[in-house]
Structure 1
Amino acid sequence: MNKPFVMPSATVRIDVDYMLDFLKRLIEIPSPTGYTDQAVHFCGRELERLGVPFELTRRGAIRATLRGAGPGPARAMVSHLDTLGAMVKQLKDNGRLALIPIGTWSARFAEGARCTIFTDRGSYRGTILPLKASGHTFNEEVDTQPVDWTNVEMRVDAFSYRCEDLRRLGFNVGDFVAVDPNPEISPRGYINSRYLDDKAGVAVMFAAMKALADAGQKPTVDTYMLFTIAEEVGVGASSVLHGDIAEMVTIDNGTVAPGQGSRESGVTISMADSAGPFDFHLTRRLIELCETNDIRYERDVFRFYRSDSASALEAGNDLRTALICFGIDSSHGYERTHVNALRSLAELSCHYLQSDVLFGRDVRPLGPLAGFPRQEVETADPAADEGDAGAAFPS
């Protein structure tokens, strides 16, 4: 493989206190897909405070601009503001609400959750409960009923015992439901919360922008910091890009589970997900930056996972994409990561932004064969395998 020259990165310091404070404030803002305006305003105000210019799409995806030190193909980094949630499916005769999920997540993690329901007249509080919630009434059936969204309902904190009560109070089919995140950061650095996917990624990007600004540094080339609003339903970065962007690095979660390589510390670099392999050269540039700058990393492949990279490519954008992750345990449930993972991702982001561009020819969407990279297949060093040589070829 051809290895382009990588410019040494200027020293930057990640303000971890800023990153965690930003994360805690953002997590507390309800933003299920389709109900993200408040989170967009929050991020917009912070970009203004940092002095970073930005613009919004019609629906509220953010494209912030970091001007580069020199010319070249533009880059992008992206994370998403929207989260999982629920929506009212039916006003039930017992005065409770039937729900459908927003995004893909199990009703198992909804049972017992406290929530806010946003109606046309204002918000109410409530609790998501299984249909058979009382052991004193249903005995062992509370443990045997199926786990499914048709087997849970929302109990609202209001005098509602009939469907007519719900209508009188202003509840309607289609009301948004935001589940409480319940964030907790332990003295040992563990971060437990719903919606670390992907508000932790957003916090990483803001920490990287602040670190560059504090150090008086610019990215190598013009870079667009993107914050999308519909990733959890598969739309993501489909409408916030433009033709000048040649490379895009997505920041999202990596799944910590048996059979996976992701970890709750360091960086996880995804080689492929359900949408296919990530760009060969961009992925290996990120690995090279980790190794050069002593950032711990793991490689992983995700079978049941897609990100903003997939939506960008499916929308017809011709650009190199990669995915770097903070490992989280219990993804799309009650999630956990560690502050070390977020710090490492922010450091890698700064190194990437200050590294040389991969291929100057990528400034044009179409070009000649000259300058196009190769994926060379080199013969492995025989000396590295000599321990097995005797077994394979006995004398």
Structure 2
Amino acid sequence: MLAIDTEYLQKTLDKLLSIPSPTGYTDSIVRFVTSELKELGLEASLTRRGAICAIRQGSRRKGARAIVTHLDTLGAQVKALKENGRLALVPVGHWSARFAEGARATIFSEEGAYRGTILPLKASGHTFNEEVDTAPIGWDYVELRVDALARNFEDFERLGIEVGDIVAIDPQTEFIDNGFIVSRHLDNKAGVAVALTALKAMQEAHQVTPVDIHFLFTIAEEVGVGASSVLTPEVASMISVDNGTSAPGQNSSEFGVTIAMADQTGPFDYHLNRKLVSLCKENDIRYQKDIFKYYRSDSASAIEAGADVRTALITFGVDASHGYERIHMHALRSLSELITAYVGSHVEIQRDFEPTTEGIVGFTKQPVDEAEQYLTKDADNDDLGPQA
């Protein structure tokens, strides 16, 4: 486990949060991360639309490991130009309009950017009295007030605002002295900062890894695309870094690493998760496990696209995810530590060096007998099988 530069982590996160990047409007943040990777010594390759892959060479190319995060955030688009000079909206990504009410935002038009505020349709207590409190919640019940002379369709035409324009929501970031961070879009700007910080630690320590490490940054995770087109065949295992859900009924925490055992697409790889837990124990990294019922990540999109990779999801616990989010620096540092421990660890599953192999020799095994038989060794004088 390597030393983590928490000052760099916080400064990088602050920079990332200051760059608007709702899904569909990610060019600026792709440019920033590509530049940051170059500063850290890696050259990035980009897909046509801007997903990033930066490979740090290890002792072996095949059986590579990937660390994937996503650059895109939640946002909105202009659904309609309204007769009253306001804009109707649809969400980009899945988030509730209750968290949009009162948000400051930027509309990106062909003619330039405009500022505005998302308001409920009945926003004035002096006009609507108690109807302000009884109005329904939903995207059909909010509108965007543009901070420009916008009174009708003709004004919109003059301003260059059109249906389909992207709307970015202000993060309203606060770094609290006690380590808490409050901001929108911590999902997944915090994951990006964690990945870059882990890479910085690896570079400064001249860490030698047993296989190549692919640092991947996707641009459409919030709409379900994620890592569907950025993996190469050399990658045998992929760890997504994203947000966990610290909420009633969940086991996630704003402190330490939360290891996801499953999300709505099913369980993550048994052997890879087991290895991550072992590394936490060996390196005294606080951790907890959780299952997310209404959640998918870059890992799901990669598997659905046909990638034959082991997948896992490690997370920083977020309170009020996809809303007014809060996390703690302890979790971000812990995640960076776990990544550095993982990429430097030995590859136990030798079969992972090849895409396919003949026969069952060397294949992994999971415990099937009573637990007592695995307190030491099983009848074949073997342990529970290799870890990823």
1:122 aligns with 2:112: yes
Contact 1:72–1:357 (Cα < 8 Å) also in 2: no
Root-mean-square deviation (CA, aligned residues, Å) is: 1.2
The one-letter amino acid of 1:365's match is P
Please give the per-residue CA displacement for 1:3-58, whole angstroms capped at 9, x wherever unaligned: xxxxxxxx521000001100000111000000000000000111111111220000
Q: Please give the alpha-carbon distance, in whole angstroms, between the structure 2 residues aligned to 1:47 and 1:94.
A: 46
User: Match for residue 296 of structure 1?
Assistant: 286
User: Match for residue 279 of structure 1?
Assistant: 269
Contact 1:90–1:99 (Cα < 8 Å) also in 2: yes
1:264 aligns with 2:254: yes
Contact 2:62–2:235 (Cα < 8 Å) also in 1: no
Contact 2:181–2:329 (Cα < 8 Å) also in 1: yes
SS in structure 2 at match of 1:238? coil
1:371 aligns with 2:344: no
The one-letter amino acid of 1:53's match is E
- Runs of 4+ aligned residues of structure 1 deviating over 2 Å after TM superposition are 69-72
Please give the per-residue CA displacement for 1:228-286, whole angstroms capped at 9, x wherever unaligned: 00000000000000111110000000000001000000000000000100000001100
SS in structure 2 at match of 1:236? coil
TM-score if structure 1 supplies the norm length? 0.93
Alignment of 1:73-222 (within 5 A): 73-222=63-212
CA apart distance, 1:71: 5.5
Q: 2:8 aligns with which of 14, 18, 21?
A: 18
Q: Indicate the larger mover: 62-71 or 223-232.
A: 62-71
Q: Please give the alpha-carbon distance, in whole angstroms, between the structure 2 residues aligned to 1:191 and 1:358.
A: 37
Q: Please give the alpha-carbon distance, in whole angstroms, between the structure 2 residues aligned to 1:38 and 1:218.
A: 32
Q: Indicate the larger mover: 81-90 or 62-71.
A: 62-71
Q: Please give the alpha-carbon distance, in whole angstroms, between the structure 1 residues aligned to 2:210 and 2:46.
A: 24
Contact 1:95–1:160 (Cα < 8 Å) also in 2: yes
Q: Please give the alpha-carbon distance, in whole angstroms, between the structure 2 residues aligned to 1:285 and 1:347.
A: 14
Please give the per-residue CA displacement for 1:305-342, whole angstroms capped at 9, x wherever unaligned: 00000000000001100000000000000100000000
Q: Please give the alpha-carbon distance, in whole angstroms, between the structure 1 residues aligned to 2:99 and 2:266.
A: 29
User: Match for residue 223 of structure 2?
Assistant: 233
The one-letter amino acid of 1:348's match is L
Q: Indicate the larger mover: 273-282 or 357-366.
A: 357-366
The one-letter amino acid of 1:24's match is D
CA apart distance, 1:218: 2.6
Q: Please give the alpha-carbon distance, in whole angstroms, between the structure 2 residues aligned to 1:375 and 1:339.
A: 35
CA apart distance, 1:378: 3.3
User: Match for residue 32 of structure 2?
Assistant: 42
Q: Please give the alpha-carbon distance, in whole angstroms, between the structure 1 residues aligned to 2:287 and 2:3.
A: 19
Contact 1:273–1:304 (Cα < 8 Å) also in 2: yes
Q: 1:68 aligns with which of 55, 58, 68?
A: 58
Q: 2:245 aligns with which of 255, 259, 262?
A: 255
Q: Please give the alpha-carbon distance, in whole angstroms, between the structure 1 residues aligned to 2:348 and 2:182.
A: 36
User: Match for residue 28 of structure 1?
Assistant: 18
Contact 2:26–2:72 (Cα < 8 Å) also in 1: yes
User: Match for residue 3 of structure 1?
Assistant: none
Q: Indicate the larger mover: 64-73 or 319-328.
A: 64-73
The one-letter amino acid of 2:301's match is S
SS in structure 1 at match of 2:203? helix
Contact 1:66–1:218 (Cα < 8 Å) also in 2: no
The one-letter amino acid of 2:369's match is E
The one-letter amino acid of 2:326's match is R
Q: Indicate the larger mover: 330-339 or 365-374.
A: 365-374
SS in structure 2 at match of 1:377? coil
What are structure 2's unaligned runs of at least 5 residues?
376-388
Q: Please give the alpha-carbon distance, in whole angstroms, between the structure 2 residues aligned to 1:28 and 1:218.
A: 34
Q: Please give the alpha-carbon distance, in whole angstroms, between the structure 2 residues aligned to 1:380 and 1:347.
A: 31
Contact 2:62–2:354 (Cα < 8 Å) also in 1: no
Q: Please give the alpha-carbon distance, in whole angstroms, between the structure 2 residues aligned to 1:364 and 1:217.
A: 24
Contact 1:65–1:222 (Cα < 8 Å) also in 2: yes
SS in structure 1 at match of 2:227? helix
Q: Please give the alpha-carbon distance, in whole angstroms, between the structure 1 residues aligned to 2:30 and 2:43.
A: 14
Cα distance 1:72–1:360, how it changes in 2: closer, same or farther (>3 A)? Answer: farther
Q: Please give the alpha-carbon distance, in whole angstroms, between the structure 1 residues aligned to 2:288 and 2:320.
A: 18
Alignment of 1:327-346 (within 5 A): 327-346=317-336
User: Match for residue 385 of structure 2?
Assistant: none
Q: Please give the alpha-carbon distance, in whole angstroms, between the structure 2 residues aligned to 1:53 and 1:245.
A: 18
SS in structure 2 at match of 1:118? strand
- Identical aligned pairs, as a percentage? 60
CA apart distance, 1:363: 1.7
Please give the per-residue CA displacement for 1:177-209, whole angstroms capped at 9, x wherever unaligned: 000001111010000000110010000000000
The one-letter amino acid of 2:368's match is V
